[in-house]
Each structure stands twice: as structure tokens, then as C-alpha cells.
């Protein structure tokens, strides 16, 4: 019931304590998690309701589990150093899977300013995106296969039963060109509420950004024996590759990666405290007004700069996090 209360409160943007038992039932019916049988006068959970809210959905649907293994070497073997058969309401299972990865990966310390910061070997938000996608979009008709989570010394692999739902293809996912399409729309909607994750089909693009911002290579998308797999390459022996989280740095690598050399130089000047005008940049780079307007527009869109004034007095400065 606590899971239902938290999920529905997230969906209705209110405090869990504000919801009565009647509110919970009405909210569950509205979101396709329960239904009313007029012949018996009873309410029953739908399949989605069981998957998301039951104490142990695998008692009804054996496939509703995550099998997690952590290996000592880069190849699977019959003696993992850690193993967990993760069962429970799927929102809770996702967080337990995150905990499994956390305890089986490294967490180096970095000094930033006067603070010591504990880093994660992998971006937690990217891993959560992949796990939510695995739960929301897997093929539930296949009762004999579970979601598989494998932690190796050099990578994390999440395997979900079923190939991408048509018309999405592996190639379109790799290119980042696809429209939202869910095999299990009720699950996808409710998990987006619970985990604050969007349904607009941009999950794989966000995974890419999370990995880039973390200093790691991009996630790899593949299929294997009817499973859809997302592989997160790790830093291996070069743990210094890991970046300090964005909240501790001025610019994110994902944003900087979208800039050309001219725009990077403009950003450097802004970071040094300068206020720039189009005329200054036109003279410095030998480009036209429309080009500098586009440069400043991109810096503003990425949240790196802000516009001051208007007309001939227009200028730009670095955008502060506090603004």
C-alpha cells in the first residue's frame, strides 16, 4: 500500500499523506491498475496493478523478477561473487537493483574545493533509465525469462526479454531517431510518475548524456537470443576517467560536446567574467552577425549564457546557477 500511495501521490503531485483509502482506489482505477466487477461488487487488481503494486508479483507472474549477478572477471561463470534474485513491486525492485550495482562497483573519492566527494563508477540516473525501460517495455508474455542484470569489472549489462516493439528498430535507437512506442503503456506511464522519468521516448538519449557527463563511453545497444541489451562500459583500470557530477562543475560535457571551436572560445571568455556583444565576436572571429546570433542562441539554449538588454545594447554573460 505504501508503494501505491507513493506512486499515486507522484501522479497527482500531492503529499502521500493527503490521499485517503478512497483516493487510492479511485486513482488506481483511473490509471488502469484496478477494476470494478459489478457482478460481485469487488475491486480487483489488473495485471499492471499486480506488477507495480503487489508485495511479490512473481507469485502470480514468475517473470516479474530481476536476476542480478556480479562477476569477478569479464566473462560470466558459475560462481558469481554476489547474487540476488530481486522480487517485489517493480518500482522497489528497480531501486534494489540500483543498490546491487552500488555495492558491487567502485566509489573513488575526489577533492573538490574543500569537500571530499564520493563518486559512483557509473551514472546512477543512466542505470535507472535502463532499468525502468527494461521493466516498462519487456515482453511479459514470455513467462520463462526474467530481466538479467550483470555487473562485470569493466561493464554493466541489463538484458530485457523481447526485442524493441515495432516499428522501433535497433538501428533507429542507435541513431536516436524514433518516436515513443511502448509495449506496456500502463506500466510505462506509472513508472514515469514513480521515477520522475519522461515518456517522450528520449530515455536512450538521456542515457547517452549521463554516460558522457560521467566521463565514460556511450552505452551500447544490442540484442542477444531474444533479449534487448544495454551495456554500460566502465572506466576499467583508468578510474580517473570519472568526472565529478555536474552539480559540482560549471559546465557539463554533454553541453560542451555540442559546441564548435568558436563557441567554446566564447564560452571561455564568458567564464572569465567578460560580457560579450555580437560586434565583439564578429570582429574577433571574422564572421557575420547571423552567425554570432546563432552562436549566442545556442549558448542560451544550453543554459550556459544569458541575454542582457536589447537592441544595440544587447550583451551576454555567463549564466549563474543561482539565477
DSSP collapsed to 3 states, 146-209: CEEEEEECCEEEEEEECCCCCCCCHHHHHHCCCCCCCCCHHHHHHHHHHHCCCCCCCHHHHHHH
Burial status of residue 310 (CB atoms within 10 A of its CB: 0-12, 13-18, 19 or more): exposed
Q: What's the pTM value of the predicted model, to 2 decimals?
A: 0.73
Determine the Cα–Cα distance for residues 168 and 34; give it in Å rounded to an integer.
Answer: 30
Please check whether residues 80 and 188 belong to one and the same domain.
yes
Last residue of a domain, one of 223, 248, 273: 248
Nearest alpha carbon to residue 53 among 125, 5, 12, 104 = 5
Determine the Cα–Cα distance for residues 208 and 231; give it in Å rounded to an integer.
Answer: 11
Please check whether residues 76 and 188 belong to one and the same domain.
yes
List per-block mean pLDDT (blocks of 10 residues) for the chain, which spans 323 residues.
78 82 89 90 92 93 96 93 96 95 95 74 94 91 94 97 81 74 82 62 80 93 94 94 70 79 90 88 94 94 90 87 52
pLDDT of residue 199: 47
Cβ 157 vs Cβ 130: under 8 Å: no
Asked whether the CA dihedral 162, 166, 171, 172 is positive or negative, the reply is: negative
What is the count of structural domains for the chain?
Answer: 3
Domain CATH number, residue 277: 1.10.10.10
Determine the Cα–Cα distance for residues 57 and 61; give it in Å rounded to an integer.
Answer: 6
The parent domain of residue 287 ranges over 258-318
Place of cell 567574467: 273
Tell me if 51 is assigned to some domain. no
Tell me if 57 is assigned to some domain. no
**How many angstroms from the chain centroid is the CA of residue 131?**
9
Last residue of a domain, one of 248, 280, 298: 248
Angle at 127 between CA 126 and CA 133, to 5 degrees: 90
Please check whether residues 289 and 210 belong to one and the same domain.
no
Tell me if 199 is assigned to some domain. yes
Question: How do 66-70 and 147-152 pair as beta strands?
Answer: parallel
Whether the link from the prior residue into 167 is cis, omega within 30° of 0, is yes
Tell me if 294 is assigned to some domain. yes
Please check whether residues 150 and 21 belong to one and the same domain.
no
Determine the Cα–Cα distance for residues 158 and 66; give it in Å rounded to an integer.
Answer: 10
Please check whether residues 154 and 186 belong to one and the same domain.
yes
Determine the Cα–Cα distance for residues 52 and 9; give it in Å rounded to an integer.
Answer: 15
Contact partners, residue 190, CB within 8 Å, separation at least 6: 7, 11, 31, 33, 48, 52
Please check whether residues 31 and 85 belong to one and the same domain.
no
Please check whether residues 163 and 40 belong to one and the same domain.
no
pLDDT of residue 323: 47
Last residue of a domain, one of 248, 273, 303: 248
Tell me if 82 is assigned to some domain. yes
Please check whether residues 168 and 90 belong to one and the same domain.
yes
Burial status of residue 283 (CB atoms within 10 A of its CB: 0-12, 13-18, 19 or more): exposed
Place of cell 556511450: 218
| Alpha-carbon distances of 4 from 138, 149, 185, 295, rounded to whole Å | 22, 25, 18, 47
DSSP collapsed to 3 states, 253-306: HHHHCCCCHHHHHHHHHHHCCCCECHHHHHHHHCCCHHHHHHHHHHHHHCCCEE
Please check whether residues 116 and 169 belong to one and the same domain.
yes
Please check whether residues 28 and 171 belong to one and the same domain.
no
Amino acid at each position: 500500500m505504501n508503494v501505491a500511495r507513493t506512486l499515486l501521490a507522484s501522479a497527482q503531485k500531492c503529499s502521500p499523506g493527503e490521499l485517503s483509502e478512497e483516493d487510492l482506489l479511485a486513482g488506481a482505477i483511473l490509471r488502469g491498475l484496478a477494476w470494478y466487477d459489478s457482478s460481485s461488487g469487488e475491486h480487483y487488481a489488473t495485471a499492471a496493478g499486480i506488477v507495480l503494486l503487489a508485495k511479490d508479483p512473481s507469485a502470480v507472474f514468475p517473470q516479474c523478477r530481476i536476476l542480478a549477478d556480479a562477476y569477478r572477471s569479464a566473462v560470466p561463470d558459475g560462481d558469481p561473487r554476489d547474487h540476488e534474485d530481486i522480487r517485489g513491486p517493480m518500482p522497489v525492485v528497480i531501486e534494489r537493483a540500483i543498490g546491487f550495482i552500488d555495492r558491487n562497483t567502485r566509489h573513488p573519492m575526489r577533492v573538490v574545493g574543500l569537500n571530499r566527494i564520493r563518486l559512483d563508477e557509473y551514472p546512477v540516473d543512466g542505470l535507472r533509465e535502463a532499468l525502468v525501460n527494461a521493466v516498462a517495455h519487456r515482453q511479459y508474455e514470455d513467462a520463462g525469462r526474467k530481466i538479467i542484470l550483470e555487473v562485470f569489472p569493466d561493464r554493466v549489462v541489463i538484458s530485457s526479454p523481447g526485442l524493441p516493439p515495432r516499428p522501433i528498430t535497433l538501428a533507429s535507437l542507435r541513431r536516436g531517431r524514433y518516436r515513443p512506442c511502448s509495449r506496456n503503456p500502463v506500466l510505462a506511464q506509472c513508472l514515469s510518475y514513480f521515477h520522475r522519468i519522461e515518456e517522450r521516448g528520449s530515455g536512450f538519449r538521456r542515457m547517452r548524456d549521463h554516460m558522457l557527463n560521467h566521463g565514460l563511453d556511450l552505452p551500447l545497444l544490442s540484442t542477444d537470443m531474444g533479449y534487448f541489451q544495454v551495456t554500460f562500459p566502465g572506466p576499467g583500470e583508468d578510474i580517473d576517467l570519472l568526472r565529478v557530477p555536474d552539480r559540482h562543475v560549471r559546465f557539463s560535457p554533454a553541453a560542451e560536446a555540442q559546441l564548435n571551436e568558436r563557441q567554446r572560445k566564447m564560452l571561455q571568455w564568458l567564464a572569465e567574467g567578460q560580457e560579450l556583444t555580437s560586434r565583439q565576436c564578429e570582429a574577433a572571429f571574422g564572421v557575420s552577425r547571423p552567425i554570432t546570433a546563432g552562436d549566442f542562441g545556442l549558448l542560451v539554449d544550453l543554459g550556459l549564457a544569458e541575454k542582457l538588454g536589447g537592441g544595440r545594447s544587447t550583451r551576454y554573460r555567463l549564466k549563474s546557477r543561482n539565477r
